[in-house]
Structure 1
Amino acid sequence: MPFVNIKTPEGALTKAQKEEIVHRTTDMLVEYMSEAARPHTMVLIEEVQDGGYGRADAIFVIPEAYRAPAGA
């Protein structure tokens, strides 16, 4: 069973973008493994809260410009 785990800052993606990522990732794996992999492919998108990880020795907070529109 193919399993893909994607971590992204909380609020960076809309529901529609997450759905597209799941579909496109599944399609990509099917290209490599055959159509038999489709019903067994799992794509997990984990949203990490602001302040929940660091980059360049500093706690990361997503800039407002990178946030998905409210309610999307």
Structure 2
Amino acid sequence: MPFANFKFPAGVVDAARKEEIIHRTTAMFVEYFGEQARPYSMVLVEEVADGGWGRADETLTLAKMGLA
């Protein structure tokens, strides 16, 4: 089963954008694996609390990323 998991800071991605991510990711799976992959494709879009993730040993926040 093709599976993708996207994580975004909470409040950054609205419902329409989440739906677009799901549709486009599914289309990519179908392009790569064929139409038979569509019913088994899983796309998870998660929102992570501000400050609940990091990169390169630094906690990231919306303010640090200039998105606050």
Letter in 1 for 2:23: H
State the match for 1:19 in structure 2: 19
Q: TM-score by structure 1 length? A: 0.80
Q: TM-score, structure 2 length as denominator?
A: 0.84
Q: Aligned residues: percent identity? A: 55
The whole-number CA distance in structure 2 between the counterparts of 1:19 and 1:66 is 22
Q: CA deviation at 1:58?
A: 3.1
What CA distance in whole angstroms lies between the structure 2 residues aligned with 1:66 and 1:24?
25
5+ long unaligned stretches in structure 1: 68-72
- What one-letter code is carried by the residue in structure 1 that aligns with 2:41? T
